[in-house]
Amino acid sequence: MKNILALTFLTLLFPLTALAQASPSCVEFQALIKSTYTFKPSKLSESAQNEKAVEMDKIWEMAKANQKELVPCLRAALETPGANQWFRFDGSNLLVSLDPTPESKRVQIRAFETVDLDDTSLEIWVRTLARRGAEGFDVSAAGARWLEYPKAQYSLTLHGGYAVKSFEGALFVFGSMDEAQATPALLKIVNQPNHPGREAALEVLMLQSTDESLRALRAVDKTKLSTEIQRNLQTILSKPQLITPRSKPKTSREEFVRAFEDISNGKWDKFFGLVAQVQDGEKDVVAVMKPEDLPLVRKVRRLFIANANQHAIEYYDTFTSILMTMVWKSAQ
């Protein structure tokens, strides 16, 4: 299992060497897909995984070497009724790597919604969905699957073995989405008293910090909620922890707006420069930012959490405090 997952991870990050051969036909390519993807990774022995990894490698190489001819064939194979679920997962990653269009990403999201999570690298699964969520796609159906999955946990090997559990994974997926999409999806889970992911969904909902989420929280049925969750819910609704604005801000609104807009365009240097200059800059944000800046601040928070690691959570929490302070102030 670990070998196939390692191959999937590497093929997502590094292009494979193209095959020097005549262009195969669509029929040949799809026949190779059908004969290769006849398995579930979680059911294979290590030696069988190694064999299948070589076969999958050939398909990736063939598609990369003949993109013009084979990308449409790959897309058609992914949309074929009854296609192997593991192929849909792995093949949709290949499709997006070759054709990163919204259409391809929607195919990928559908594949991620249906794949057996026992077969996947959960880290790749969550991180990819968080990226799609930050790009504006609705990944709530996949997020709901995560909250139902009994083995929803993995470690971040590149981040000191940080343990991602049910809540953290849900925060990465739902937190990366536009709140207008995420809030009703979370509320649907929260309103099911026997749902296994109910409290994790409620914890994420309590961080949304929007007028809509606060109204929804006030109407939540507290039946079967733990004492701790009920206490946290009461705090959010009555006396949330707010940031005290600095009386003489060290950073201007214009500087924050430029830095946040840069983040929206994939440029982080300006923001981290401000952080280096003023480490408690959140006191300035709530002092100088205006209600019309809320959408930009929310977008920056979504882009942070899409990094799907513990550092992203730290920034998400800070921006949540900023947003709650701004929303609470405007509601008074």
Q: Which domain holds residue 296?
A: 253-331
Of the three residues 182, 205, 239, the one that is the final residue of a domain is 239
127 falls within a domain? no
Of the three residues 120, 146, 178, the one that is the final residue of a domain is 120
pTM for this one? 0.90
Percent of the chain with pLDDT over 90: 87
Instruction: Return the percent helix, strand and coil in the chain, to nearest 5.
Output: 70, 0, 30
Comparing 140 with 18, the larger pLDDT belongs to 140
Same-domain pairing of 76 and 42? yes
Same-domain pairing of 214 and 311? no
| CB neighbour list of residue 182: distance below 8 Å, 6 or more residues apart | 140, 143, 174, 175, 204, 208
> Which of 18-27, 125-134, 151-160, 178-187 shows the lowest per-residue confidence on average (mean pLDDT)?
18-27
> Which of 2-16, 22-36, 81-95 shows the lowest per-residue confidence on average (mean pLDDT)?
2-16
Count how many domains the chain has. Answer: 3
Average pLDDT on 285-290 reads 97
Whether 36 shows a pLDDT value over 80: the answer reads yes
What is the model's pLDDT at position 10? 47
Phi-psi region of 134 (alpha: psi -120 to 50; beta: other; left: phi over 0): alpha
Same-domain pairing of 220 and 259? no
Q: Quote the CA–CA distance of 119 and 96 in Å, as a whole number.
A: 20
> Which of 105-109, 223-227, 260-264 shows the lowest per-residue confidence on average (mean pLDDT)?
223-227
Whether 169 shows a pLDDT value over 90: the answer reads yes
Of the three residues 88, 120, 152, the one that is the final residue of a domain is 120
